[in-house]
């Protein structure tokens, strides 16, 4: 797929989206309903970006967002009787916002695309992360199933991005994972986050202390 220079951007306060991952969304604001309608008649692409800073003060305007996001293709679109939408995006590629445009009711941006990187991790990296995941889940008291992800039946990029998107950490920590320039660096940062959370659980076994946004 040839990716365009301009994409619609959907900012949210608690969603960090990664390539190869599905993302279900319920779209109810009028400006983003318009975005979905326009995208469904065009390239079917929507870029997701994380809100930053004091975004609450200007939520219905153009609050600040992180410059790095991921574009997804709408693989499912369901329009409800009242005009809302249920959609599913499939992550394609990371982007960096060059500048925003002001020509539509929703946000649009000129973007640069992250060049593809090696889909394979350095030897031993995946096994080390899998071990950290098992320890982390065990510390949380969750059953550790040897599912397809940990058994190695998915490729390295899917393995890392699944954990990055679904790990129970602050959105800004996930954003740091997304901004990693290579898959190997994202995996390194993911391991660092897991090790930090394990240390938190060791020091505070009854629960981790609250952290600021």
Label residues 85-119 b or e (16+ Cβ within 10 Å = b): bebebebbbbbebeeeeeeeebbbbebeebeeeee
- Please tell me the least confidently modeled range out of 63-67, 132-136, 181-185: 132-136
pLDDT bucket at 85, cuts 50 / 70 / 90? very high
Element at 135 (helix H, strand E): helix 125-139
Which CATH number fits the domain that encloses residue 27? 2.30.130.40
Q: Which pLDDT belongs to residue 176? A: 97
pTM value? 0.89
Question: Per-residue pLDDT for 101 more than 70?
Answer: yes
Q: Which pLDDT belongs to residue 212? A: 42
pLDDT bucket at 145, cuts 50 / 70 / 90? low
If asked whether residues 61 and 154 sit together in one domain, one would say no
Number of domains present in the structure of the chain: 2
Look at residue 118 and tell me if it is in a domain.
Answer: no
Higher pLDDT pick, 148 / 137 = 137
If asked whether residues 108 and 16 sit together in one domain, one would say yes
If asked whether residues 109 and 144 sit together in one domain, one would say no
Q: Which pLDDT belongs to residue 72? A: 98
Look at residue 119 and tell me if it is in a domain.
Answer: no
What is the C-alpha to C-alpha distance for residues 168 and 190, in angstroms, rounded to an integer? Answer: 12
Q: CA end-to-end span of the chain, whole Å?
A: 36
Mean pLDDT of 90-98: 97
Question: Where in the sequence is the domain holding 89, given as residue range(s)?
Answer: 6-113
CB 92 within 8 A of CB 71: yes
What is the C-alpha to C-alpha distance for residues 161 and 180, in angstroms, rounded to an integer? Answer: 12
Higher pLDDT pick, 141 / 68 = 68
Question: Per-residue pLDDT for 135 more than 50?
Answer: yes
């Amino acid at each position: 797929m040839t990716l365009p220079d301009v994409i619609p951007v959907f900012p949210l306060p608690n969603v960090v989206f990664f390539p190869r991952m599905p993302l279900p969304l319920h779209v109810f604001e009028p400006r983003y309903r318009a975005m979905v309608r326009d995208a469904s008649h065009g390239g079917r692409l929507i870029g997701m970006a994380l809100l930053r800073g004091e975004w609450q003060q200007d939520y219905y305007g153009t609050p600040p967002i992180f410059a790095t996001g991921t574009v997804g293709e709408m693989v499912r679109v369901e329009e409800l009787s009242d005009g809302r939408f249920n959609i599913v995006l499939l992550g394609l590629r990371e982007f960096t916002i060059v500048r925003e445009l002001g020509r539509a009711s929703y946000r649009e941006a000129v973007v640069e695309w992250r060049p593809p990187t090696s889909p394979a991790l350095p030897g031993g990296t995946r096994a080390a992360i899998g071990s950290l995941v098992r320890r982390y889940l065990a510390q949380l008291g969750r059953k550790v199933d040897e599912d397809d992800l940990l058994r190695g039946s998915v490729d390295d990029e899917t393995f890392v991005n699944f954990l990055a998107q679904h790990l129970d950490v602050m959105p800004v920590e996930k954003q740091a994972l997304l901004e990693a320039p290579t898959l190997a660096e994202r995996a390194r940062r993911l391991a660092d986050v897991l090790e930090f959370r394990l240390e938190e659980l060791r020091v505070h076994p009854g629960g981790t202390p609250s952290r600021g946004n």
